[in-house]
Amino acid sequence: MCVRSGEASGSSTARDMGQLGPSEWARETFITVVDVKHYAYCPRIVWLTHVLHLNEPVTEAMELGAELHDEAFITPLIGLLGAVRVLRDVELESERLKLRGKEDFVLITRFGEHVPVEVKWSEPARRGRPKRDHKLQLAAYALMIEESTGRPVKRAAIYYVRSGELVVFTLKSHDKEEARRAVRRIHEIVESGEEPEVRVPRSRCLNCGFRRFCMPEVRPEPQGAC
């Protein structure tokens, strides 16, 4: 397990969660937390990216989202969670899961609790809840943090830039188990090369940047972003 990060106020290296990385050959078998998010949205995306090696076209919304990575939201979150330390761009790797990714922020409370935090350009689901694919992404980060620290990750947070909403939610054991199943299934898809059978709502296809590869006849909605 390997964790590397910079402090929120600078670029110093933090070693709060251990630093033991996988060998170079093992890196080739790794998947990413973004793959977990893609799988939760539509398993076919994993097949398109890893087997056919197709990339999602960069949209104007994606570019704008990257530019508007405002960190001002972190201040009230620090007070809400009672955080005493903020780690930024935390690189996580799990050799056990063959999984890696870079988390936007990890807040550490005075009780030693680690809270992963993601920034998303879109808006939350109905009633201010996190979107399913985003929640599974945070659960995957939680698994890697737990492997490193030996402490349970009970909460996570997502800041939705477009709506300006900060969503703090509980990560339950079934969320983490769902993330584990997703990781196993992604590895199976990558290793077998077989296209998965999927059934997703047509609305997801309308909002997916990969639709041009599997459903070219479907026209996107004006604000679509996968």
pTM: 0.82
**Could you tell me if residue 208 is inside a domain?**
no
| Mean pLDDT (whole number) for 6-25 | 44
Number of domains in the chain: 1
| Mean pLDDT (whole number) for 187-202 | 90
Residue 105 has pLDDT above 70, yes or no: yes
Q: What tens digit of pLDDT does each residue of 81-103 get? A: 999 999 999 999 999 999 999 99
**Could you tell me if residue 222 is inside a domain?**
no
CATH of the domain at 162: 3.90.320
**Could you tell me if residue 67 is inside a domain?**
yes
Query: What is the rounded average pLDDT for all residues in the chain?
Result: 83
**Could you tell me if residue 196 is inside a domain?**
no
Strands 165-170 and 31-32: unpaired
Distance in angstroms (rounded) separating the CA atoms of residues 146 and 123: 28
**Could you tell me if residue 225 is inside a domain?**
no
**Could you tell me if residue 20 is inside a domain?**
yes
Q: Residue 115's beta-bridge partner residues?
A: 107
pLDDT at 223: 47
- Produce one character per residue of 85-115: b if its CB has 16 or more CB atoms within 10 Å, e if not: ebbbebebbbbebbbbbebbbbbbeeeebbb
Do residues 101 and 175 touch, judged by C-beta distance below 8 A?
no
Range of the domain at 11: 2-48+58-186
**Which tokens hold the place of 126?**
């109905």
